[in-house]
Amino acid sequence: DVKVTQSSRYLVKRTGEKVFLECVQDMDHENMFWYRQDPGLGLRLIYFSYDVKMKEKGDIPEGYSVSREKKERFSLILESASTNQTSMYLCASSLTQAGYTFGSGTRLTVV
Amino acid sequence: AQKVTQAQTEISVVEKEDVTLDCVYETRDTTYYLFWYKQPPSGELVFLIRRNSFDEQNEISGRYSWNFQKSTSSFNFTITASQVVDSAVYFCALSGYNTDKLIFGTGTRLQVFP
């Protein structure tokens, strides 16, 4: 069963910590994405990648960075976590124009 | 700019009722794709359908049907004879032809009561 796996389902971190959210896909997809989901705001794109070592900013990249050293892995990094980054984070991968496959999400709480 | 509007924040129905979720989109692209995703309480978004802008045929899949109308920039989703298992948040999304970036609406929470 093909899938996108996010390493943590729930995460609690302290303000100022560096946080790594990991995402791995086993479908050999070129494209990978990080979204955050907040009530009333839907899903907003943070960063995406169309290839290894390639990254592009989405709509809300401030406070985040990403890493894609291998095709199957796309990591989201919160350089210095803040309370306004408390959210549900969703990773997705895709073949071009085929629609996304999503991971089950990481609910991050920053205290 | 691209935009997807789901004006219905929350809908509640009783089992076996039919329900329609509205989706209105804005784009300057002549070629684009529209999607619907379901997010059950477990949290994982599940792909339901993709429609390209050249195909205005309505689609039916079991109790689900989709009505795509370019004239009104709408891509509405109807569930016939709703069931409790249909309870979820439903997202409509849009992408341009040469990009995989999806623009999502804010979602509609559907609650189906027994």
Q: Which of B5, B36, B45 to mutate to test the interface with A (most CBs of A within 10 A)?
A: B45
Rounded CA separation A69/A53 (Å): 6
Asked if the C-beta of A41 comes within 8 angstroms of chain B's C-beta atoms, the answer is: yes
Q: What integer pLDDT is reported at residue A95 of this predicted model?
A: 81
Q: Nearest chain A Cα to B34, which residue?
A: A99
3-state SS class at B47: strand
pLDDT higher than threshold 90 for residue B9? yes
Proportion of chain A above pLDDT 70, given as a percent = 97
Burial group, residue B101, by CB count within 10 angstroms (0-12, 13-18, 19+): middle
Over residues A21-43, mean pLDDT = 93
Q: What integer pLDDT is reported at residue A97 of this predicted model?
A: 67
Give the residue among A72, A96, A87 at the shortest CA–CA distance from A2.
Answer: A72
Q: What integer pLDDT is reported at residue B5 of this predicted model?
A: 96
Q: Which of A41, A90, A101 sits opposite B106 (nearest CB)?
A: A41
Chain A contacts of B107, Cβ < 8 Å? 42
Q: How confident is the model at residue B44 (pLDDT cuts 50, 70, 90)?
A: confident
